[in-house]
Amino acid sequence: MKIKAYHYLLLPAVFIFLTAPLVLFGQSDEGFIYGKVTTIDDDTYTGAIRWGKEEIYWFDMFNSSKPKNKNLKYLSAENRNDLNRDKGRWSSKWTNIVVQSRWNWNSSHTHSFACNFGDIASLEIVGWDKIELTLKNGEILDLDGGSNDIGTKIRVYDNDLGIVDLRWSRVEKIVFMDTPKKLESKFGEPLYGTVATDGGDFTGFVQWDHDERISTDKLDGDNADGDMSIEFGKIKSIERDGRGSRVVLKSGRDFYLTGSNDVNGENRGIIVNMPGVGRVDIEWRDFRKVTFTNTPKNAGPAYASYKSPNELSGKIITEDGSSFTGRIIYDLDEAYDCEILQGNEDDIAYLIPFRNIKKIHPKNYSYTRVELNNGKKLMLSDSQDVTEKNDGVLVFTDKNDPTYIPWDEVDEIIFD
């Protein structure tokens, strides 16, 4: 189970992201993760890859943590003191007294890391919870734990052997490769459909309970006759109903199921992936119904469609009207357009790669308006990326001497 604090924003009553037609209608398996895994004994396994029982598509997100923040070196002593003072304050909910907490200031500005698997060239395991991740642009990131993506089994659908489950301790390196247009062997077909919520409808590739995302995965539950375990490929729709769910099969049969986190309030959330935009994570209490459509003929964007990550760059306008143009480091952390902006509206979480963002405009200490390249405007809250908890931005108007701008002084960021 992967626990992540991802949150996002205000949308119209019906929120359907449109993606390029080839995502849905090209006859291809190229959207599945594919590569070569080398073990500590120099054995190699090549084929479709699944990360444990979860990630299987190039648009799925790899998550870890950055143990150090090398960008703190660009701040003056005064900037660091101001930032640390803000980070060390909290207000009691019973009184208006502001208390100064005590911790290691330097460690309080480390961040999580997330990107699409399609942005990664390779992973090398250097410790039980430590890896060296190489992006497609050659940048090497030292990462440390942070999610169950570290330490899990790596499943490879080797053409000669079938499914091989490799223990993390046996894996030395994973090199990602272009997926053949038609795989000889694969784990299953994509789940695609429309999820109806209290705030609107979302159409895209579906992950159920944060785990199940292909046709051979199973929905578990109980009915009056006993336990059931139904392949998602046989399901037409799932509708929340009281303490359980009404499940309708493609055959027309229907069942009322309870007793499992697949079908009741213990469900961890329904994720909808919309390539070219991002993803939403819908809490069970906001979920109403998912209707699966015919399996898309494409499993999402191919590995080659994820271009080499670019450094973030653009113009920052401050509250006093000054402007600064150059390379940008957002929240003293995100430096590349493959990294992820997080925010939420109510209980629906949004994760958006920076490459899909046009503008960011803080509204106050709790809300930020984000405009996407496709014209959609979102009002995001409840995460460090979009609230007063943001560590501020660096802009390199000079290659070696950046200007630091605290978050409360930012009026607008316009990305190139």
Given 303, 322, 339, which residue is the final one in a domain? Answer: 303
Residues ≥6 apart with Cβ < 8 Å to 332? 69, 71, 72, 75, 109, 111, 391, 392, 393, 394
CB of 330 within 8 A of CB of 324?
Answer: no
**Residue with the two structure tokens 């670019």:** 310
281 and 244 belong to one structural domain: yes
The verdict on residue 254 lying in a domain is: yes
195 and 299 belong to one structural domain: yes
The verdict on residue 404 lying in a domain is: yes
Given 109, 132, 163, which residue is the final one in a domain? Answer: 109
> 10 Å Cβ neighbour count for 231?
15
| Cα angle 416-356-393, degrees, rounded to a multiple of 5 | 55
User: What pLDDT shows up at residue 303?
Assistant: 98
Q: How far apart are CA 336 and CA 399, in angstroms?
A: 16
Q: How far apart are CA 210 and CA 148, in angstroms?
A: 12
Structural domain of residue 89, as residue ranges? Answer: 70-109
The verdict on residue 4 lying in a domain is: no
Query: For 97-148, what is each residue's pLDDT tens digit?
Result: 333 333 344 445 778 999 999 999 999 999 989 999 999 999 999 999 999 9
The verdict on residue 356 lying in a domain is: yes
Give the max Cα distance, the chain: 70
H/E element, 15: none
CB of 115 within 8 A of CB of 61?
Answer: yes
Q: How far apart are CA 113 and CA 143, in angstroms?
A: 8
411 and 309 belong to one structural domain: yes
263 and 330 belong to one structural domain: no
The verdict on residue 235 lying in a domain is: yes
254 and 338 belong to one structural domain: no
Cα distances from 60 to residues 336, 337, 365, in angstroms, run: 17, 16, 31
Given 272, 303, 334, which residue is the final one in a domain? Answer: 303
The verdict on residue 366 lying in a domain is: yes
Q: Which of 380, 59, 346, 92 is nearest to 192 (CA)?
A: 59
The verdict on residue 131 lying in a domain is: no
362 and 287 belong to one structural domain: no
275 and 313 belong to one structural domain: no
How many structural domains comprise the chain?
A: 3
Query: For 58-107, what is each residue's pLDDT tens digit?
Result: 999 999 999 988 888 888 888 888 787 665 443 333 233 333 333 344 44
Q: Is the pLDDT of residue 267 over 90?
A: yes
What does pTM read for this prediction? 0.87
344 and 265 belong to one structural domain: no
The verdict on residue 409 lying in a domain is: yes
Q: Which two tokens stand for residue 365?
A: 């200490």
- β pairing state of 393-396 and 323-329: antiparallel
Query: For 352-405, what is each residue's pLDDT tens digit?
Result: 999 999 999 999 999 999 999 999 899 999 999 999 999 999 999 987 889 999
298 and 328 belong to one structural domain: no
228 and 245 belong to one structural domain: yes
240 and 320 belong to one structural domain: no
